[in-house]
Amino acid sequence: MDSTEFRKRGVEMVEYICNYLETLGERRVTPSVEPGYLRHLLPSEAPQEPEDWDQIMVDVEDKIMPGVTHWQHPRFHAYFPAGNSFPSILGDMLGDGIGCIGFSWAASPACTELETIVLDWLGKAIGLPDHFLALKEGSTGGGVIQTSASECVLVTMLAARAQALKRLKAQHPFVEEGHLLSKLMAYCSKEAHSCVEKAAMICFVKLRILEPDENASLRGQTICEAMEEDELQGLVPFFVSTTLGTTGSCAFDNLPEIGKELKKFPCVWLHVDAAYAGNSFICPELKPLLKGIEYADSFNTNPNKWLLTNFDCSTLWVRDRIRLTSALVVDPLYLKHGYSDAAIDYRHWGVPLSRRFRSLKLWFVLRSYGISGLQHYIRHHIKLAKRFEELVLKDKRFEICNQVKLGLVCFRLKGSDKLNEKLLSAINESGKLHMVPASVNERYIIRFCAVAQNATGEDIDYAWDTIVDFANELLEKEQH
């Protein structure tokens, strides 16, 4: 494809995307296909000769789209939002066009510097303390874009592990490193995302999963008692991962309490995972949810969830960048450059070497919406969630199962888990709505999340009417 054809096809693609997004509501939310559906529609080998573009696009509509789950659909209410907006798409497109691989400052100075600046912008807007900002006088911290929240948790755990091992080696110079590693203990709540468990597996450390309170919030005393118990057993607490806005029910661990308790364990790294909820802290009225952040060593949130930014864009800030990078630095000659000492090289802040120009899309989003536009978007979703909560509360056959602080409502039919499983499965099979379940306090609940950028009150009412229709049918069947 030459640039003349790219111009033509680019215009057509923009047209296709606009049509797709504008008419999304007419499609089923979830596809009606079985595993392997695409294998039967596509050849088993790549074409030997070039194919016609128009034919490829016909196949997009006829073969790919029938298997797509439409995350931007106004009646998609599963998981958390998948950030998406035109400025973000265009920012990504420009990044792809530039096509640089900005692993070091020298590999593309603007790629590195824009990331640092934009992360400071967002960190300030969220209300992070100054020590998390890279360009603040005297700060040792800074922000970086990772691919996912899972990676943020992994790299902070790796950094905490390196720091703990260094300390233990200094205390016990003749003890084998493997033995020291076997003593390290990380902590999180049962409500933490499974990525903490995965990070512990990769780091080869023990993880103690603690019981939260009745509001799904991990408390300071629980952590403190667990650590004291473990220390008595000869184990070494080194990392705590807390969550602000849990995946299951958007609950908040008690960060002020946990932070205060951790003062008794000054070598323990405190991480805050706010993958979804963290974005909302750009609204002044929601900043109280960030209370306790002054105790944290690191914090992550995903603009690619709830800040109109396309995947991938997971932002991580650390209090001390040297403690992060010292766990991840490898420095072969071919990657060194003349400014290694003076500039940030983001290859030392994460696992991959190659990095896309991801800050461009976030920069486009922050500039074209402005903080006020993004605040408006967050508040709109919260309003939709509140509207849904009110509808649920009016029907005495249902109950609300979480404190609705942001865009997630957890609810269930009063009755057995089995009954709620049946309800959700019938709704999802219809393709009219899409929601997913979670288990909170050992109970099966249905999660309803405000997701689509331009979802309206009518979309919420439609969703509720649909749920009620299915519930009526199910309850009637159950009576006979």
Under the criterion CB under 6 A, does residue 163 sit at the interface with ligand PLP?
no
Does residue 302 interact with ligand PLP by CB under 6 A? yes
Q: Rounded to the nearest whole angstrom, what is the least distance from the CB of residue 145 to ligand PLP in the complex?
A: 12
- Residue with smaller CB distance to ligand PLP, 104 or 314: 314
Phi-psi region of 79 (alpha: psi -120 to 50; beta: other; left: phi over 0): left
Considering only 158, 275, 392, 467, the residue that binds ligand PLP (CB under 6 A) is 275
CB of 449 to ligand PLP, least distance (A): 10
Q: Which single residue is written with the structure tokens 């033995």?
A: 179
How far does the chain reach from its first CA to its final CA, in angstroms? 64
Question: In degrees to the nearest 10, what's the CA dihedral of 272, 273, 279, 283?
Answer: -40
E strand map for 107-262: 142-146, 184-189, 206-210, 236-243
* Closer Cβ to ligand PLP, 195 or 424, answer by number: 195
- Contact between 410 and 438 (Cβ < 8 Å): yes
Shortest distance, position 242 Cβ to ligand PLP, whole Å: 10
What is the spatial distance between Cα 89 and Cα 77, in angstroms, rounded to a whole number? 22
Q: Is 280 in the site for ligand PLP (CB under 6 A)?
A: no
Q: Does 306 bind ligand PLP (CB under 6 A)?
A: no
Helix axes 220-232, 255-262, angle to 10 degrees: 30
Rounded least distance, CB 153 to ligand PLP, Å: 7
* Residue length of the chain: 480
Q: Is 14 exposed, middle or buried (0-12, 13-18, 19+ CB in 10 A)?
A: middle
Residue 468 φ/ψ, nearest 5 degrees:
-65, -40
User: Nearer to ligand PLP by C-beta: 391 or 449?
Assistant: 449
Nearer to ligand PLP by C-beta: 80 or 132?
Answer: 80
149 touches ligand PLP by CB under 6 A: yes
Structure tokens at 149: 């929240």
Rule CB under 6 A: say whether 108 interacts with ligand PLP: no
**Dihedral sign (CA 37, 41, 45, 51):** negative
- Is 409 a binder of ligand PLP (CB under 6 A)? no
Of 165-173, 273-281, 286-294, 403-411, the window that binds ligand PLP (rule: CB under 6 A) is 273-281
Q: Which of 448, 453, 416, 450 is nearest to 249 (CA)?
A: 448
388 binds ligand PLP, rule: CB under 6 A: no
d(CA 392, CA 383): 14
Total interface residues for ligand PLP by CB under 6 A? 14
Which one of 243, 249, 298, 420 is in contact with ligand PLP (CB under 6 A)? 243
The answer to the question of residue 80 lying near ligand PLP (CB under 6 A) is yes
Cβ at position 265, least distance to ligand PLP in Å: 23
At its nearest, how many Å lie between ligand PLP and the CB of residue 109? Answer: 28
Structure tokens that stand for 168 in this block: 């233990």
Tokens in use for 203?
């780091």
Stretch that binds ligand PLP, among 40-48, 69-77, 242-250, 261-269 (CB under 6 A): 242-250
Contact positions toward ligand PLP, by CB under 6 A? 80, 148-150, 193, 195, 243, 246-247, 273, 275-276, 302, 314
